Amino acid sequence: MERKIVNKDDFLYPRGRYYGQVKPENLVFNANLQEFAQRVSYICNLETGGKLPPGEAYEQIKGLWKQLKRTKKQLKIGEEPFQSDQEDIED
């Protein structure tokens, strides 16, 4: 039987497939969002297991949230400087 070697990072930080509109900024934000979710999951599990105090867990998640918001703003996700790409082509 053939054994497949699994990369440690792929095991600890799995990535889901992206199905949205393919633009570089969307792909980057999606990767950041998945990392945020994974880290929040780890923090919640540590807090639930009694390895991390609730206040510390809250502060860590709050910091991750601020970081995610900052990247969203930098990538201009949700902002539409043009009405749509189709309108630009038709003009």
Query: What is the per-residue pLDDT for 91?
Result: 47
Helix, strand, coil percent values for the chain (each to nearest 5): 65, 0, 35
> What value does the mean pLDDT of the chain take?
87
pLDDT tens-digit series, residues 28-67:
999 999 999 999 999 999 999 999 999 999 999 999 999 9
What average pLDDT does the segment 77-91 reach?
Answer: 61
**Residue 56 CA: distances (Å) to CA of 35, 43, 67:** 19, 9, 17
Q: Quote the pTM value.
A: 0.75
Query: What is the per-residue pLDDT for 7?
Result: 84
